[in-house]
Amino acid sequence: DIQMTQSPSSLSASVGDRVTITCRASQGISNYLGWYQQKPGKVPKLLIYGASTLQSGVPSRFSGSGSGTDFTLTISSLQPEDVATYYCQKYNLAPFTFGPGTKVDIK
Amino acid sequence: QLQLQESGPGLVRPSETLSLTCTVSGGSISSVIYDWAWIRQPPGKGLEWIGTISYTGDTYYNPSLQSRVTISVDMSKNQFSLNLSSVTAADTAIYFCARQGTWTATVDWCFDYWGQGNLVTVSS
């Protein structure tokens, strides 16, 4: 099965900073990747699908890129409400594996 | 607005079967565009996909759980269910049900609607 890794596992940044999270697949998955945001105590929320397509209603400061094995989620200007854990998820084939998550908080 | 709601016991004894039901409201479970999934999250840990079912009853399971998992659908009640047998403490988690797109959905095979989650503790 394809394994998903994320880096860093956690980060702390200031409001207004540009934040980048990396997701890597152990084999190529084309652009079959989604990103989710899970705020503390809340349900995960789909942010991006197809590696780069923003889900309806998601702020434009979020963006995704990548294809094959390497992907990034970028928050162009970190806001206090972005404190959350972010997960990538592959869906080229089952199993639909999630990455281990990246916890983002405010410095 | 589509809503999903998990229901079931919050405590299950070791070696017994965990059974949860997800009730879908605000939309039909009988869709060729969407499938229906179970995902779990142990306390303080990450997300683990358990399995997915289509309205026709086709299923996909996580290989790590396949021998213990059964997911079924009841279109008459607009519900789908999870059975996980021979549970241990390692199965203690919040169990989420979710709607999953397919290749014809806008969101591809991602999970776009989630229930609030049902914490299940495995303990004697």
**Residue given tokens 């399995």 in the structure block:** B51
Quick one: pLDDT band at residue B105, thresholds 50, 70, 90? Answer: confident
CA nearest B66: which of B79, B49, B47? B49
Residue B113 to chain A, least CA–CA distance (Å): 8
- What count of other Cβ atoms lies within 10 Å of the Cβ of residue A96? 24
> CB B111 to CB A89 under 8 A?
yes
Q: What is the 3-state secondary structure (H, E, C) of chain A?
A: CCCEEEECCEEEECCCCCEEEEEEECCCCCCCEEEEEECCCCCCEEEEECCCEECCCCCCCEEEEEECCEEEEEECCCCHHHCEEEEEEECCCCCCCECCCEEEEEC
> CB B47 to CB A36 under 8 A?
yes
* Separation between Cα atoms, residue A85 and residue B49, nearest integer Å: 17
Q: Is B68 helix (H, G, I), strand (E, B) or coil?
A: coil
Taking CB atoms and an 8 Å cutoff, what residues of chain B touch A55? 107, 112
The pLDDT > 90 percentage for chain B reads 90
pLDDT tens-digit readout, A44-79:
999 999 999 999 999 999 999 999 999 999 999 999
Taking CB atoms and an 8 Å cutoff, what residues of chain B touch A46? 107, 110-112
- Element spanning B70, H or E: strand B69-74
**Mean pLDDT for all residues in chain A:** 97
DSSP state of B110: -
First to last CA, chain B: 39
> CB A95 to CB B62 under 8 A?
yes
Best residue of B3, B54, B109 to probe chain A, by most A CBs closer than 10 Å: B109
Q: Is A95 on the interface with B (CB under 8 A)?
A: yes
Q: Is A94 on the interface with B (CB under 8 A)?
A: yes
Q: List residues of B whose CB lies inside 8 A of any A CB.
A: 37, 46-49, 52, 60-63, 96, 100-101, 107-112, 114-117
Residue A28 to chain B, least CA–CA distance (Å): 17
> CB A34 to CB B108 under 8 A?
yes
Quick one: pLDDT band at residue B43, thresholds 50, 70, 90? Answer: very high
CA nearest A33: which of A90, A97, A99? A90
Quote the pLDDT of residue A39.
Answer: 98
Mean pLDDT of A15-24: 98
Q: Is A49 on the interface with B (CB under 8 A)?
A: yes
